[in-house]
Structure 1
Amino acid sequence: MSTVRSHMTMSLDGYIAQPDDQIGELFEWYEAGDVTIPTPNEYIPEFSVDAASASFLRELIDDCGAVVVGRRLFDIAEGWGDKHPVDAPVVVVTHHPPEDAAERWPNTTFVDGVAAAIKRAGQIAGDKDITIASANVTQQALALGLVDEVCVSLVPVLFGEGIPYFSVLDTGHLVLDDPRVVQGKRAVHLCYPVRK
């Protein structure tokens, strides 16, 4: 059965981007080592990470059958040129798909609503896992009880302000189980099972 996990790189004070959507030093860990992990994306042809981060990243990539993102991230990344770096199909949560979506992003699916997007991602992923890579979509999926694991690549930088990974939870407290911890260079990778 597929696992639905969220994964974001986050500053120590809880932000996934600066107020202007720039990532600052968050992604330094993707270039902090000598283990090369190739991607199908011409703009991000490879990651160069340390051995521990490589093991963590390979697991995320190899097990991923679909990536779910929000329209905002999709637009910022310009749809990754229709080739996401984890080499999995992308499902975008949006009320209004781009008019040229079928021509410009033929490998991307646009779905209205988080629950519908997770369902569609599950159909695409088959036995593989689903990764949610957007903060707002993660919030909504957590509120709907659709997330099995919350993963954070925690990096040693303080932004002071920005776009949070988590904010007010509509459902109140959400209890997670103890994390699996991978100590990498420029990031500590934490994967928390969601207590159900």
Structure 2
Amino acid sequence: MTKVTTRATMSLDGYIADASHGGFEYLLQWYEGGDVETPTANPELTFRTSAASARHLRDFTERTGALVVGRRLFDMTNGWGGRHPLDVPVVVATHRVPEGWEPESDSFVFVTDGIESAVDRARAIAGAKEVGVNGGTIAAQVVESGLLDEVHVDLVPVVLGAGIPLFARLKIAPLQLEGPISVVEGVGVTHLAYRIRPSA
């Protein structure tokens, strides 16, 4: 079955954003921390990372066949200008299709009947590739539904002091993980991956 993973950049004290949904100038510095260029589907967005992080990003991109995100992230990014930087279809879990958008296109599919349906649709789109889940609230819903296989963390050396954790208000905590199943040391970031431990 298609693997479902979530990936987030996180501070040393466990936050993916500060309390005002910001802090990205610190969390995302590693995307500009080197001299190896990684282009994206957005011609105006090219990452410049260390060689190790560039290989990590390239491997992640090649493995990913579709994404699942929530409506809040979709709105925050204004739909990534019409196409996600990974250049893969995005399934948006939402209560209603946003005004001005088609319910389904090559770039976005809006699913209004729950997170399980959104993941199922993304799996169908991804085929043999992985499904990535972005956004802390959506990631928590996916793991609570028993659909998440792995957690990938880009750990950066900053302490935000307070903010939004990856799995905010998780209803099934404590959640045990196995690993790390991979560790990649970049410049200004350490890329970690863990497997969700099956429930007894």
- Shorter chain as denominator, the TM-score bin is over 0.9
| 2:126 is aligned with 1:125 | yes
1:18 equivalent in alignment to 2:18 = yes
- 3-state DSSP class of the match of 1:84? coil
Q: Would the alpha carbon gap of residues 103 and 5 (structure 1) be closer, same or farther in structure 2, given more than 3 Å must change? A: closer
Unpaired segments ≥5 residues, structure 2 = none
Give the residue type in structure 1 aligned to 2:196: V
- Partner residue of 1:61? 61
Q: Which residue of 2 aligns with 1:8?
A: 8
- Partner residue, 1:52: 52
Partner residue in 2 for 1:114: 115
TM-score normalized by the length of structure 2: 0.92
* Cα separation, partners in 2 of 1:163 and 1:105, compared to 1, 3 Å: farther
Gaps of 5+ in 1: none
Matches within 5 A, 1:124-143: 124-143=125-144
When residues 104 and 147 of structure 1 are mapped into structure 2, their CA distance, relative to the original with a 3 A threshold, is closer
Give the alignment partner of residue 186 of structure 1, picking from 180, 185, 188.
188
TM-score (norm 1): 0.94
Which whole-Å CA distance do the structure 1 matches of 2:173 and 2:41 have between them?
A: 40
Distance in 1 (CA, whole Å) between partners of 2:106 and 2:128 is 22
1:33-112 alignment runs, 5 A limit: 33-44=34-45, 46-102=46-102, 107-112=107-112
Amino acid at match of 2:82: D
Q: For 1:71, give the aligned amino acid.
A: R
Identity of aligned residues (%): 46
The change in CA–CA distance for 1:104 and 1:18 in structure 2 (over 3 A counts) is farther
Q: Once the 2 structures are TM-superposed, how far is the Cα of residue 103 of structure 1 from its aligned partner?
A: 8.8
